[in-house]
Amino acid sequence: MRISRDKNRYTSGRYVPEGISYDITIDGVLYLLMMDGFVRKIRSGSYDRTKGEGDQTRIAAKAKLVDWFSVNPALLPKALVDCEDTDPLVVQVTGKRKGKNKNGKEVTFKTKTLKKYTDDANTNQMRDNLSLINDCLKRHWSDLHLSDDEWVKLQRSLVGNKKYDYTPIRLHRQTIRHIFNSTNFDIGGRFYGGWWQNIPSAYRGMITIDGKRTTEFDYGRLHPTMLYAQEGLTLSEDAYDIGISAEHRDVIKQLFNAMVQMKESQDRPPRDVKFSQTGKTWKQLGDLILERHKLIRDKFFCGMGNRLQYEDSQIAEKVMLHFAKQDIAVLPVHDSFVIRRSLEHDLIEVMSKAFSQHYDVPIDIKDGAKFVSLDIGLPDEVEVDEIISHMAEFDGWWRRNG
């Protein structure tokens, strides 16, 4: 696991649990754990100010610490659910700083800073709503239906994935946080923190809630539909069809969103979008998107992305509150929701109603589940020994959900 040795991370405030300080955590607890042989340091932390990048200190439990827990390791996540007690209403602002990349070239890096704010009636209401949602999530248990071997393989692949910023799955993270990008609480505001948001989308089809299979539905073309609705228009066709091969649809979606997020038009393409496979330049693709959406052309390159996220977060909150008041767990993944399969029709109805309370246009709600190819099923005809063997393969999941 990672642990920060940055003293700024332990400054007293709403984002640091009461009683936690650098002296207590690092000079006290961590020092004693290492001295007494409970943990070992795997790698020291580092930070290069010229490059604006670094890594936190990494530690691992030794056998002495593992043996200290009376709970079975598979059940440990359930024992840790209530251990995160920082303020779930967060303001995190993205800034910029100058530095050098690995080649020594001057570049601009993005930075993220937690901001203090003063509570008012609005923040108190949002926190109350989030407490209701999180209390519901904690009364239930969401998990990933994988065999013990597949679980290990997935964890290793997440740690070794260099394309996406994945971290190991922490099942104890059963609750969410409301993260805004302004102390005015009018931009950003999406919900983050749940373990299910940190897995490849194909694995979400393996999520269970209280041991039951789930389904996922999302709002199709959400932001394009919202942008058209703001102009009193209805988007009836695929927003990402700009006249090139359909195999590039996901790339066009990424570019569309980037153009909405950008504050001004620029010659340099978005850093995180790979589009060379389309055979077209950034300018050619940008022009095709603008031509396809000429009716809302003024919505691009004016920094609307985070404001749209604020609006879709308000819709998401309505959906989750509806079910939380009935003690039904719903797992949000930005513009999609995971719920027990038996409740999929209720979810679609609630999603449609929540959207219509903000926009008087139809919205496409579709099955968002993708499935990873895993050999986890039983053959058509099985003996009792085979059933027992199959259950043994899923020992960790059965212990948490049995």
State both tokens at 243: 């006249």
Cα dihedral 354, 355, 361, 363 sign: negative
Greater pLDDT, 291 or 81: 291
> Span 303-309, mean pLDDT?
94
pLDDT of residue 18: 75
pLDDT of residue 380: 41
Q: Which residue has the tokens 């604020």?
A: 310
State both tokens at 116: 């203090």
pLDDT of residue 385: 52
Separation between Cα atoms, residue 393 and residue 153, nearest integer Å:
14
> Span 108-126, mean pLDDT?
90
Separation between Cα atoms, residue 351 and residue 363, nearest integer Å:
9
Strand blocks (E) in 30-171: 39-43, 46-48, 53-55, 57-61, 89-100, 106-114, 142-144
pLDDT of residue 245: 95
pLDDT of residue 375: 43
Residue 117 has pLDDT above 90, yes or no: yes
pLDDT digits (tens, 9 = 90+) for 242-280: 999 999 999 999 999 999 999 999 999 998 899 999 999
- 168 φ, ψ (degrees, to nearest 5): -55, 145
Q: Percentage of residues in the chain with pLDDT exceeding 90?
A: 58
pLDDT digits (tens, 9 = 90+) for 39-80: 898 888 887 766 667 788 888 888 888 777 666 778 888 888
Residue 234 has pLDDT above 90, yes or no: yes
Q: Is the pTM of this model over 0.85?
A: no
Domain segments of the chain as ranges: 86-239+293-377
Highest mean pLDDT among 15-19, 29-33, 160-164: 29-33
Residue 186 CA to its chain's centroid (Å): 20
pLDDT of residue 376: 40
Greater pLDDT, 199 or 16: 199
Residue 190 has pLDDT above 90, yes or no: yes
pLDDT of residue 256: 97
Cα dihedral 118, 16, 77, 46 sign: positive
| Average per-residue pLDDT for the chain | 87
pLDDT of residue 94: 85
Residue 337 has pLDDT above 70, yes or no: yes
Q: Which residues contact 216 (CB under 8 A, 6 or more apart)?
A: 204, 205, 207, 333, 336, 337, 338, 339, 367, 368, 369
> Span 320-339, mean pLDDT?
97
Q: Binning pLDDT at 50, 70 and 90, where does residue 363 land?
A: very high
pLDDT digits (tens, 9 = 90+) for 213-230: 999 999 999 999 999 999
pLDDT of residue 69: 67
pLDDT of residue 374: 46
pLDDT of residue 16: 78
Q: Which residues contact 186 (CB under 8 A, 6 or more apart)?
A: 180, 307, 310
- 338 φ, ψ (degrees, to nearest 5): -110, 130
Greater pLDDT, 25 or 336: 336
**Residue 71 identity:** V
DSSP 198-224: GS-GGGGGGEEETTEEEEEEEEETHHH
pLDDT digits (tens, 9 = 90+) for 295-305: 999 999 999 99
Residue ranges in 76-147 assigned as alpha helix (H): 76-79, 121-139
Q: Which of 330, 315, 313 is nearest to 132 (CA)?
A: 330
Greater pLDDT, 5 or 380: 5
State both tokens at 339: 């719920």
